[in-house]
Amino acid sequence: MSSVVRRVIVGLVVVGFVSSASSSYVHYQLAQDPGYTSFCDVSESVSCTQVYESRFGSVGGVPVALLGAFWFGLVGLLTITAGRGDAGLDENIGAYLLMLSTVGLAAVLFLGYESFVVLGTLCVLCAVVYVAVIGVFVAASAVTTAPLMSMPRRLGADIGRLVKAPLALGIAGGYVVLTVAVGLAFTSDPTDITSVSATNASSVATRGASDDSEFERFWSAQPRVELPVGVDGAQVLVLKFNDYQCPSCAQSYFLYEPIFARYEFSHPGAVRQLSLDYPLDPECNDQTPRGGHMGACEAAVAVRLARREGRDTAMARWLYENQLTMSRETVRQGLADVASMTDFDQLYETVLEEVKADIALGALIDIEATPTFVINGVVIKGGLQPQLFDSAIALELAADDNIATSE
């Protein structure tokens, strides 16, 4: 490895490691503090938080950003080691770097696709990491490497060298221990980024004015609207004006699902969630003449039809997971696969009138984008961070309990 290539890789590693570490810090703060605002949240389409809180933001409870920091650390250690041994070791390290950078490239291509295409969101820190990984791959491709077929044998020899070098062994061992310790710190943390514990949610809901809660002040100051939708005995009514072809609608569905499940367990029947159709498709929604979701009306009809067979939840999940290929044909086939219904075309126009009734409700509050949530009359455009969404429900439950007590 030439000194120029080594310096390039080290520079990219430093940039990537700092960005990954910063992302991990933001991820951790979001999990700990419901009111935390990331410095890289610029708008709905340029937001680190939306990416971190999505289902692509972590693996087994460990933030993807943290895995990236570990990757950069390992690449950096190998690069620094190159040139300090014999030519054979340098060739081996070149092969290790090429294999690591290939894995890294595959990961960032996948994550970049999920961020830009599926979520429709740019995470600035993530983008810096992507560029750094691609740069490492290009630089590693220029390094002379040993034949890959011989690497298992060479790896065994290198491990033998490592065991005989106390300083190198200590550094490697320390890095492994640090990696495991930091990873465990995240996976054992009781506060997951996609939800807040019931205890924490309760404490948010019962804080008094002396606690000076910024979110409570924000929430209590919000105006409320009235929509002709029955609460059906619930204390909290959560309406979601939804488009099954909208990436943010899919993201919020998966993020909020565990929150609703927890409240159903702790407060059975107290929180009612209702998804209302607002497809951004001019075929059935004349409020969105430029809407580009040309399969959204069909998707809304499909869920309503699947409900007749008790398969609406499964149908909704199928649609969210197949947004990129959504069309009348794929929706029709999805309905047949999920709910065993083959009369989509015959029933379409009749059920579409039900969808239009929901669209008319949305027109009462001038919906500009999906998803739009209405929590006991408070309109939230685009949703909230999961912690704050949880807190809003908890506050509404506490307010209803206070009213009941005073009566």
pLDDT tens for 352-381 read 999 999 999 999 998 888 899 999 999 998
pLDDT, position 156: 62
CATH annotation of 3-187: 1.20.1440.130
Q: Tokens at residue 232, please?
A: 């059906």
pLDDT at site 94: 77
CA distances to 52, 157, 234, 362 from 24, rounded to whole Å, are 9, 35, 38, 38
Identify the segments of the chain with pLDDT beneath 70.
Answer: 1, 30-37, 44, 53, 55, 60-61, 83-90, 144-173, 175, 177-179, 181-212, 401-407
pLDDT the model gives residue 384: 87
Q: Per residue in 340-368, is it b (16+ CB within 10 Å) or e — as a string?
A: ebeebeeebeebbeebeebbebbeebebe
Q: Are 238 and 174 in contact (CB under 8 A)?
A: no
- Intervals of CATH 3.40.30.10 along the chain: 198-406
- pLDDT at site 407: 55
| CATH number for the domain whose boundaries are 198-406 | 3.40.30.10
pTM: 0.53
State residue 279's pLDDT score: 94
Domain with CATH 1.20.1440.130 in the chain: 3-187
**pLDDT for the residue numbered 61:** 67
Residue 403 confidence (pLDDT): 61
pLDDT value of residue 307: 95
**Residue among 87, 23, 377, 405 nearest 228 (CA):** 377
pLDDT in tens, 261-292: 999 999 999 999 999 999 998 999 998 877 77
